Structure 1
Amino acid sequence: MQSYLFLGIAIFAETIATLSLKASNGFTRLGPSLVVAVGYVTAFYFLSLTLRAIPIGVAYAVWSGIGIVLISAIGWAVFGQKPDAWGTVGIGFILVGVMIVNLMSRTSAH
Protein backbone atom coordinates (compact mmCIF):
# COMPACT_ATOMS: atom_id res chain seq x y z
CA MET A 1 0.00 0.00 0.00
CA GLN A 2 2.93 2.33 0.72
CA SER A 3 3.98 1.98 -2.92
CA TYR A 4 0.67 3.46 -4.04
CA LEU A 5 1.16 6.34 -1.60
CA PHE A 6 4.57 6.96 -3.19
CA LEU A 7 2.98 6.74 -6.63
CA GLY A 8 0.35 9.28 -5.58
CA ILE A 9 3.06 11.67 -4.38
CA ALA A 10 4.91 11.19 -7.69
CA ILE A 11 1.75 11.96 -9.66
CA PHE A 12 1.02 15.04 -7.54
CA ALA A 13 4.58 16.37 -7.90
CA GLU A 14 4.60 15.74 -11.64
CA THR A 15 1.25 17.52 -12.02
CA ILE A 16 2.50 20.59 -10.12
CA ALA A 17 5.72 20.60 -12.16
CA THR A 18 3.87 20.33 -15.46
CA LEU A 19 1.47 23.12 -14.55
CA SER A 20 4.46 25.26 -13.55
CA LEU A 21 5.98 24.79 -17.01
CA LYS A 22 3.30 27.09 -18.39
CA ALA A 23 3.93 29.66 -15.67
CA SER A 24 7.70 29.52 -16.22
CA ASN A 25 7.23 31.14 -19.65
CA GLY A 26 9.93 29.06 -21.31
CA PHE A 27 12.09 29.04 -18.15
CA THR A 28 12.34 32.84 -18.20
CA ARG A 29 10.71 33.22 -14.77
CA LEU A 30 12.83 31.97 -11.87
CA GLY A 31 10.13 31.02 -9.33
CA PRO A 32 8.03 28.78 -11.57
CA SER A 33 11.22 27.35 -13.13
CA LEU A 34 12.41 26.26 -9.68
CA VAL A 35 9.02 24.67 -9.00
CA VAL A 36 9.38 22.72 -12.27
CA ALA A 37 12.83 21.43 -11.30
CA VAL A 38 11.90 20.50 -7.73
CA GLY A 39 8.61 18.98 -8.86
CA TYR A 40 10.18 16.70 -11.45
CA VAL A 41 13.02 15.64 -9.14
CA THR A 42 10.44 14.83 -6.46
CA ALA A 43 8.25 12.98 -8.95
CA PHE A 44 11.06 10.79 -10.24
CA TYR A 45 12.36 10.09 -6.74
CA PHE A 46 8.97 8.85 -5.55
CA LEU A 47 8.40 6.97 -8.79
CA SER A 48 11.70 5.17 -8.17
CA LEU A 49 10.48 4.17 -4.69
CA THR A 50 7.26 2.91 -6.23
CA LEU A 51 9.18 0.59 -8.54
CA ARG A 52 10.41 -1.45 -5.56
CA ALA A 53 7.00 -3.12 -5.38
CA ILE A 54 4.99 -2.24 -8.48
CA PRO A 55 6.05 -3.45 -11.94
CA ILE A 56 7.45 -0.63 -14.08
CA GLY A 57 4.82 -0.98 -16.82
CA VAL A 58 1.96 -0.75 -14.35
CA ALA A 59 3.51 2.12 -12.38
CA TYR A 60 4.23 4.10 -15.51
CA ALA A 61 0.77 3.45 -16.96
CA VAL A 62 -0.87 4.70 -13.77
CA TRP A 63 1.54 7.65 -13.40
CA SER A 64 1.17 8.87 -16.95
CA GLY A 65 -2.54 8.03 -17.26
CA ILE A 66 -3.63 9.78 -14.08
CA GLY A 67 -1.27 12.64 -14.90
CA ILE A 68 -2.90 13.11 -18.30
CA VAL A 69 -6.38 13.13 -16.77
CA LEU A 70 -5.37 15.59 -14.03
CA ILE A 71 -3.50 17.95 -16.34
CA SER A 72 -6.37 17.91 -18.83
CA ALA A 73 -8.94 18.65 -16.11
CA ILE A 74 -6.85 21.44 -14.59
CA GLY A 75 -6.05 22.83 -18.04
CA TRP A 76 -9.77 23.05 -18.70
CA ALA A 77 -10.64 24.55 -15.29
CA VAL A 78 -7.74 26.99 -14.96
CA PHE A 79 -6.64 27.80 -18.51
CA GLY A 80 -9.93 27.30 -20.38
CA GLN A 81 -8.38 24.56 -22.55
CA LYS A 82 -11.56 22.55 -23.09
CA PRO A 83 -11.01 19.31 -25.01
CA ASP A 84 -13.36 18.54 -27.89
CA ALA A 85 -15.65 15.50 -27.83
CA TRP A 86 -13.03 13.12 -29.24
CA GLY A 87 -10.42 14.44 -26.83
CA THR A 88 -12.79 13.76 -23.95
CA VAL A 89 -13.47 10.24 -25.25
CA GLY A 90 -9.73 9.57 -25.56
CA ILE A 91 -9.04 10.82 -22.05
CA GLY A 92 -11.91 8.63 -20.82
CA PHE A 93 -10.29 5.61 -22.48
CA ILE A 94 -7.02 6.41 -20.72
CA LEU A 95 -8.81 6.51 -17.38
CA VAL A 96 -10.62 3.24 -18.10
CA GLY A 97 -7.32 1.65 -19.14
CA VAL A 98 -5.68 2.64 -15.86
CA MET A 99 -8.63 1.18 -13.96
CA ILE A 100 -8.46 -2.09 -15.91
CA VAL A 101 -4.73 -2.47 -15.25
CA ASN A 102 -5.22 -1.87 -11.53
CA LEU A 103 -8.44 -3.73 -10.90
CA MET A 104 -8.33 -6.64 -13.30
CA SER A 105 -4.75 -7.32 -14.36
CA ARG A 106 -2.58 -9.80 -12.50
CA THR A 107 0.51 -7.73 -13.32
CA SER A 108 -0.34 -4.99 -10.83
CA ALA A 109 0.67 -5.26 -7.18
CA HIS A 110 -2.41 -5.71 -4.99
Structure 2
Amino acid sequence: MNCYYLLLLAILFEVCGTVCMKLSEGLSRLLPSILIFVFYAISFSIFTLALRGIDVSIAYAIWAGLGTALITVVGVFWFKEPVNALKIASLFVIVAGVIGLNLSDRMT
Protein backbone atom coordinates (compact mmCIF):
# COMPACT_ATOMS: atom_id res chain seq x y z
CA MET A 1 0.00 0.00 0.00
CA ASN A 2 1.22 3.50 -0.80
CA CYS A 3 2.81 5.12 2.25
CA TYR A 4 0.96 8.37 1.62
CA TYR A 5 -2.36 6.51 1.82
CA LEU A 6 -1.26 5.05 5.13
CA LEU A 7 -0.33 8.54 6.32
CA LEU A 8 -3.75 9.88 5.33
CA LEU A 9 -5.42 6.99 7.18
CA ALA A 10 -3.29 7.70 10.25
CA ILE A 11 -4.30 11.36 10.13
CA LEU A 12 -7.99 10.44 9.93
CA PHE A 13 -7.68 8.22 13.01
CA GLU A 14 -5.83 11.00 14.82
CA VAL A 15 -8.66 13.40 14.01
CA CYS A 16 -11.16 10.85 15.33
CA GLY A 17 -9.16 10.64 18.55
CA THR A 18 -9.14 14.42 18.87
CA VAL A 19 -12.89 14.60 18.29
CA CYS A 20 -13.30 12.03 21.06
CA MET A 21 -11.29 14.30 23.36
CA LYS A 22 -13.93 16.97 22.89
CA LEU A 23 -16.79 14.47 23.23
CA SER A 24 -15.31 13.03 26.43
CA GLU A 25 -16.00 16.29 28.26
CA GLY A 26 -12.75 16.21 30.19
CA LEU A 27 -12.62 12.39 30.40
CA SER A 28 -15.97 12.37 32.22
CA ARG A 29 -17.76 10.28 29.55
CA LEU A 30 -16.54 6.69 29.41
CA LEU A 31 -16.93 5.65 25.76
CA PRO A 32 -15.36 8.74 24.16
CA SER A 33 -12.59 8.59 26.78
CA ILE A 34 -11.76 5.01 25.84
CA LEU A 35 -11.99 5.81 22.12
CA ILE A 36 -9.36 8.54 22.48
CA PHE A 37 -6.77 5.90 23.30
CA VAL A 38 -8.07 3.38 20.75
CA PHE A 39 -7.99 5.88 17.88
CA TYR A 40 -4.59 7.25 18.85
CA ALA A 41 -3.11 3.74 19.17
CA ILE A 42 -4.40 2.88 15.70
CA SER A 43 -3.19 6.21 14.34
CA PHE A 44 0.34 5.86 15.71
CA SER A 45 0.56 2.26 14.50
CA ILE A 46 -0.42 3.22 10.96
CA PHE A 47 1.83 6.30 11.10
CA THR A 48 4.75 4.02 11.97
CA LEU A 49 4.01 1.91 8.90
CA ALA A 50 3.84 5.03 6.73
CA LEU A 51 7.32 6.01 7.90
CA ARG A 52 8.73 3.03 6.02
CA GLY A 53 8.51 5.04 2.82
CA ILE A 54 8.34 8.71 3.88
CA ASP A 55 11.00 10.78 5.62
CA VAL A 56 9.94 11.48 9.20
CA SER A 57 10.31 15.25 8.77
CA ILE A 58 7.96 15.31 5.79
CA ALA A 59 5.52 12.80 7.27
CA TYR A 60 5.25 14.66 10.55
CA ALA A 61 4.76 18.00 8.81
CA ILE A 62 1.95 16.54 6.73
CA TRP A 63 0.50 14.83 9.81
CA ALA A 64 0.52 18.02 11.87
CA GLY A 65 -0.65 20.33 9.10
CA LEU A 66 -3.47 18.26 7.67
CA GLY A 67 -4.53 17.10 11.12
CA THR A 68 -4.78 20.71 12.27
CA ALA A 69 -6.67 21.73 9.15
CA LEU A 70 -9.12 18.83 9.39
CA ILE A 71 -9.82 19.28 13.09
CA THR A 72 -10.44 22.98 12.48
CA VAL A 73 -13.01 22.12 9.81
CA VAL A 74 -14.63 19.59 12.16
CA GLY A 75 -14.67 22.17 14.94
CA VAL A 76 -16.36 24.76 12.75
CA PHE A 77 -18.96 22.49 11.18
CA TRP A 78 -19.66 19.94 13.93
CA PHE A 79 -18.95 21.82 17.15
CA LYS A 80 -20.09 25.20 15.77
CA GLU A 81 -16.84 26.95 16.67
CA PRO A 82 -16.56 30.53 15.40
CA VAL A 83 -14.93 31.14 12.03
CA ASN A 84 -13.49 34.34 10.62
CA ALA A 85 -11.27 35.49 7.77
CA LEU A 86 -8.07 35.07 9.80
CA LYS A 87 -8.93 31.46 10.66
CA ILE A 88 -9.65 30.67 7.00
CA ALA A 89 -6.48 32.42 5.80
CA SER A 90 -4.45 30.57 8.43
CA LEU A 91 -5.80 27.23 7.19
CA PHE A 92 -4.67 28.10 3.68
CA VAL A 93 -1.20 28.95 5.01
CA ILE A 94 -1.02 25.59 6.80
CA VAL A 95 -2.06 23.70 3.68
CA ALA A 96 0.39 25.73 1.55
CA GLY A 97 3.17 24.87 4.00
CA VAL A 98 2.37 21.16 3.82
CA ILE A 99 2.36 21.30 0.02
CA GLY A 100 5.63 23.21 0.04
CA LEU A 101 7.33 20.70 2.32
CA ASN A 102 6.07 17.85 0.20
CA LEU A 103 7.36 19.50 -2.97
CA SER A 104 10.72 20.27 -1.35
CA ASP A 105 11.18 16.55 -0.70
CA ARG A 106 10.80 15.87 -4.41
CA MET A 107 13.29 18.58 -5.43
CA THR A 108 16.24 16.94 -3.68
TM-score > 0.5 by shorter chain? yes
**In the TM superposition, what whole-angstrom CA distance separates every residue of 1:3-26 from its partner, at most 9, and x where no partner exists?**
111101100100000001011111
Match for residue 85 of structure 1?
A: 85
Q: Normalization by structure 2: what TM-score? A: 0.91
Q: Tell me the number of residue pairs that the alignment of Structure 1 and Structure 2 aligns.
A: 106
Q: Percent identity?
A: 35
How far has the Cα of 1:31 moved from its partner? 0.5
Range that drifts further, 83-92 or 35-44:
83-92
Q: Structure 1 stretches (4+) deviating beyond 4 angstroms?
A: none
Range that drifts further, 50-59 or 79-88:
79-88
Match for residue 24 of structure 2?
A: 24
What is the CA RMSD across the aligned residues, in angstroms? Answer: 1.3
Cα distance between partner residues in 2 of 1:17 and 1:71: 10
Match for residue 3 of structure 2?
A: 3
For structure 2, list consecutive stretches of 5 or more residues without a partner in the other structure.
Answer: none
Aligned pairs for 1:1-110 within 5 A: 2-102=2-102, 104-105=103-104, 107=105
**In the TM superposition, what whole-angstrom CA distance separates every residue of 1:39-93 from its partner, at most 9, and x where no partner exists?**
1001111111111110111000111111111101111001111332222211110
**SS state of the match for residue 78, structure 2?**
helix
For structure 1, list consecutive stretches of 5 or more residues without a partner in the other structure.
Answer: none
Cα distance between partner residues in 2 of 1:72 and 1:88: 9
Q: Normalization by structure 1: what TM-score? A: 0.89
